[in-house]
């Protein structure tokens, strides 16, 4: 007699709730490497993708459906990553409005863009449990996730399947739960920062940063405030064991009453030539700009 997923998954969920254990096969993944860009001989230019059992991903989705409302309830408006009804466009529009307003008022503005290197791969499992506890996730679900992670095994698949490797860091690649877990971890990190005195005041709103998953944008009116924010974030990241993967940081300054000073503008000018401004303003070309630059090193039509 064959039993379909619709019968197996509720049984597995009930068993997991009772024993806090899942089948060991669900903790195993075959890992393939996808080349992103750059030197193919440099291993850091590859993205690992975990191929998980389909039945596990269905089970994980069921757990995620129960955890998401709990994690979502504690997410601030600054976070727009992995959330229904949110988009990168929201934050881009917000930043554009802030820049316009500060230029209009002729006030200084500092913006720092931060991206954690390999953030999803670097978090420790202990920080996962602590964060889920802080978000008041029931112990029964934490224990089920622990069961999966404590026996997390990966095998690199090249021409043949490599030996089993016990994975002790990071959230699982390709797991429906991973994005929910990650934004919970980042929220726990941000909660430990005291940035209450470093805020922009715009029509009654108070803002000092924006987030999209692990991409952060910090906002301040002075260079000293910005320095303090980045240093405290770096310290908190080390305490949560991100220290092996330091943040990448790009700071942009808006001059008082003047045009923005930006590094990307100089790159664009060099790439696109004298017509850089008209090219940048042509929205119809936006979709092809990155592809053109990647393939030819130029933003000008060939």
Burial class (CB in 10 A: 0-12, 13-18, 19+), 49: middle
Q: How far is residue 167 from each of residues 18, 121, 151, 202, 249, measured CA to CA in Å?
A: 26, 10, 8, 46, 28
Between CA 118 and CA 129 the distance in angstroms is 20
The per-residue pLDDT for range 95-151, each reduced to its tens digit, is 888 888 888 888 898 998 887 766 777 788 989 999 999 999 999 899 999 989 988
The pLDDT assigned to 9 comes to 54
Residue 50's φ and ψ, nearest 5 degrees, are -90, 125
* pTM reported for the whole predicted model: 0.69
Decide if 75 contacts 187 (C-beta within 8 A). Answer: yes
Sign (positive or negative) of CA dihedral 191, 195, 200, 202: positive
The per-residue pLDDT for range 11-56, each reduced to its tens digit, is 555 554 555 678 888 888 888 888 888 888 887 788 788 889 988 9
Short-list 247, 113, 122, 129, CA closest to 184: 129
């Amino acid at each position: 007699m064959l039993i379909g997923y619709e019968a197996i998954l509720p049984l597995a969920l009930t068993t997991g709730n009772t024993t806090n254990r899942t089948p060991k096969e669900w903790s195993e993944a075959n890992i393939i490497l996808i080349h992103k860009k750059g030197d193919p001989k440099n291993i850091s230019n590859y993205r690992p993708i975990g191929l998980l059992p389909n039945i596990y991903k269905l089970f994980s989705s069921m757990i995620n459906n129960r955890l998401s409302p709990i994690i979502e309830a504690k997410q601030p408006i600054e976070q727009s990553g992995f959330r229904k009804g949110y988009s990168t466009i929201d934050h881009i529009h917000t930043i554009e409005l802030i820049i316009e307003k500060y230029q209009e008022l002729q006030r200084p503005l500092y913006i720092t863009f931060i991206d954690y290197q390999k953030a999803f791969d670097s978090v420790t499992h202990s920080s996962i449990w602590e964060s889920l506890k802080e978000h008041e996730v029931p112990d029964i679900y934490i224990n089920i996730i622990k069961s999966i992670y404590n026996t997390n095994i990966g095998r690199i698949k090249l021409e043949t399947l490599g030996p089993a490797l016990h994975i002790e860091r990071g959230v699982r690649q390709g797991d429906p739960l991973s994005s929910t877990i990650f934004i919970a971890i980042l929220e726990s990190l941000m909660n430990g920062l005291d940035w209450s005195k470093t805020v922009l005041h715009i029509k009654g709103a108070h803002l000092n940063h924006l987030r999209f998953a692990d991409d952060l944008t910090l906002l301040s009116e002075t260079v000293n405030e910005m320095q303090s924010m980045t240093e405290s974030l770096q310290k908190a990241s080390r305490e949560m064991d991100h220290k092996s993967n330091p943040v990448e940081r790009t700071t942009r300054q808006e001059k008082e009453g003047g045009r923005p000073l930006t590094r990307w503008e100089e790159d664009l000018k060099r790439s696109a030539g004298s017509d850089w401004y008209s090219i940048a303003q042509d929205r119809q070309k936006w979709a092809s700009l990155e592809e053109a630059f990647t393939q030819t090193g130029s933003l000008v039509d060939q």
